[in-house]
């Protein structure tokens, strides 16, 4: 089965063509970073309009690259939520309309399901069951994955998501949008040991997270010391170490509590080098750790094409009266069932 994937939930337009026999045939991405930079964050209306501009040219390019004609497409997958409603509606409307024109089924994919299945696109995909750490701009979750569609939420953030904490702390340190990668780059120049941030909630039982205190800690520390470039780099490193160590502790705990020995990392923060390095070290304890390549940690069309292909092969398909849902819990049915 050959499936087109469309991702437009936030500030990246992603497209891909996935073949269930041959794997990923092509993918393309347009990042809106430069569009939102002046505003210090994503402006939803600008994001939607830019998806409208980018999605079809990107798709044409991907089909050319895959040497696939429209008549060889068997299904269309689009991100149906969670995300920015205007942005989601672009992918949903284009995807549903395209499927109708081509006479093939369409399916709406949960954005986080796309993320958690992204390692399946790599050469050494994980077997089920596994623990997935989902760390993005909107989510920090530990999920037990028994099969596609069989997800048990083990832990969640009580406040800021890990990516959100990176972005907010980056802003405090005077770094632009997107903050996570900029903070990680600054941390590379930091000196270890000058500052120490708390590891939130590690001394309490359970697998939930809380990251909002870390940005406050960064702010109060910054107010107490001479504010220079080296201080900011030292703070960035101490912050990054605290987030990474907290995530590693909770991953270890989830693996111990479930008795599972496979771990998948997914979502934008999964591109963080220090996190990848520290989690990779779990393999010394017999844990198999699977990451998507960094480009497939952040938003992309390939993960949506893959997840959509699995769902279409299982016989799922979106009704003609399609929908998009800004809030939608992973593993739950879409909030409002639409009928033809
Ligand atoms: O998965 P994603 O592309 O979009 C969402 O679904 O949210 O994740 C974006 C998040 C942002 O908060 C961004 O700052 C963070 O991932 N991020 C990083 C890195 N690259 C992206 N955070 C830390 N280090 C990175 N290298
Ligand atoms: Zn995402």
- pLDDT tens track, the chain, 340 positions: 999 999 999 999 999 999 999 999 999 999 999 999 999 999 999 999 999 999 999 999 999 999 999 999 999 999 999 999 999 999 999 999 999 999 999 999 999 999 999 999 999 999 999 999 999 999 999 999 999 999 999 999 999 999 999 999 999 999 988 899 999 999 999 999 999 999 999 999 999 999 999 999 999 999 999 999 999 999 999 999 999 999 999 999 999 999 999 999 999 999 999 999 999 999 999 999 999 999 999 999 999 999 999 999 999 998 898 899 999 999 898 887 655 5
Q: Is the CB of 244 under 6 A from ligand 1?
A: no
As a whole number of angstroms, the distance between CA 141 and CA 247 comes to 10
| d(CA 255, ligand 2 centre) in Å | 24
95 contacts 106 by C-beta, under 8 angstroms: yes
Distance 201 CA to ligand 2 centre (A): 25
Mutate to test the pocket of ligand 1, among 269, 293, 330 (most ligand atoms within 8 A of CB): 269
Backbone angles phi, psi at 260, to 5 degrees: -85, 160
Question: 221 CB less than 6 Å from ligand 1?
Answer: no
6 CB within 6 A, ligand 1? no
Domains delineated in the chain: 2-117+296-313 (3.30.420.40), 127-291 (3.30.420.40)
pLDDT of res. 322: 87
Query: Angle of helix 229-258 relative to helix 212-224, nearest 10 degrees?
Result: 150
- pLDDT recorded at residue 101: 98
Taking CA atoms only, the protein residue closest to ligand 1 atom 14 is: 180
Ligand 1 binding pocket includes 271 (Cβ within 6 Å):
yes
Q: Which regions of the chain does DSSP assign to beta strands (E)?
A: 2-7, 12-19, 23-31, 75-81, 106-110, 130-135, 140-147, 150-155, 262-266, 288-290
Backbone angles phi, psi at 151, to 5 degrees: -120, 135
How far is the centre of ligand 1, averaged over its atoms, from the C-alpha of 107 (Å)? 25
* Cα-to-centroid distance, 222 and ligand 2 (Å): 30
Size of the chain in residues: 340
Ligand 1 pocket residue status of 138, Cβ below 6 Å: yes
Q: Is 32 in the pocket of ligand 1 (CB under 6 A)?
A: no
DSSP 3-state assignment of 122?
coil
What are the residues facing 108 on neighbouring strands? 78
Round to whole Å and give the CA distance between 32 and 43.
10
Residues 172/215, Cβ–Cβ less than 8 Å: yes
Q: Is 83 in the pocket of ligand 1 (CB under 6 A)?
A: no
Alpha carbon nearest to ligand 1 atom 3, residue:
298
Q: Is the peptide bond before 34 cis (omega within 30 degrees of 0)?
A: no
Ligand 1: distance of its center to the CA of 79 in Å?
18
Ligand 1, atom 16, residue with closest C-alpha: 268
209 lines ligand 1 (CB under 6 A): no
E strands, 217-309, in order: 262-266, 288-290
- CB distance 323 to 336 below 8 Å: yes
* Ligand 1 centroid to residue 227 C-alpha, Å: 26
């Amino acid at each position: 089965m050959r499936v087109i994937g469309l991702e437009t939930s936030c500030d990246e337009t992603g497209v891909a063509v996935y073949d269930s026999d041959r794997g990923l045939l092509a993918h393309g991405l347009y990042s809106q970073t430069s569009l939102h930079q002046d505003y210090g964050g994503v402006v939803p209306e600008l994001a939607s309009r830019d998806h409208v501009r980018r999605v079809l040219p990107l798709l044409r390019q991907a089909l050319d690259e895959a040497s696939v004609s429209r008549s060889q497409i068997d299904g269309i997958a689009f991100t149906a939520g969670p995300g920015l409603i205007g942005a989601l509606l672009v992918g949903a409307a284009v995807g549903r309309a395209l499927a109708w024109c081509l006479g093939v089924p369409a399916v709406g994919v949960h954005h986080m399901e796309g993320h958690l299945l992204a390692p399946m696109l790599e050469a050494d995909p994980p077997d089920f069951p596994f623990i997935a750490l989902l760390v993005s701009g909107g989510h920090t979750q530990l999920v037990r994955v028994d099969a596609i569609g069989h997800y048990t939420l083990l832990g969640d953030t009580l406040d800021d998501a890990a990516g959100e904490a990176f972005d907010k702390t980056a802003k405090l340190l005077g770094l632009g949008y997107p903050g996570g990668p900029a903070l990680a780059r600054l941390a590379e120049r930091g000196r270890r040991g000058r500052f120490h941030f708390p590891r939130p909630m590690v001394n309490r039982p359970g697998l939930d997270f809380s990251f909002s205190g870390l940005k406050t800690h960064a702010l109060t520390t910054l107010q107490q010391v001479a504010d220079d470039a080296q201080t900011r780099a030292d703070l960035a490193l101490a912050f990054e170490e605290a987030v990474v160590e907290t995530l590693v502790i909770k991953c270890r705990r989830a693996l111990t509590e479930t008795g599972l020995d496979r771990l998948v990392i997914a979502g934008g923060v999964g591109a963080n080098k220090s996190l990848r390095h520290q989690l990779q070290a779990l393999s010394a304890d017999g844990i198999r750790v699977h990451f998507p390549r960094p480009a497939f940690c952040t938003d992309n069309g390939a993960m949506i094409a893959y997840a959509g292909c699995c769902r279409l092969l299982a016989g799922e398909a979106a009704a003609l009266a399609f929908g998009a849902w800004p809030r939608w819990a992973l593993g739950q049915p879409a909030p409002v069932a639409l009928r033809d």
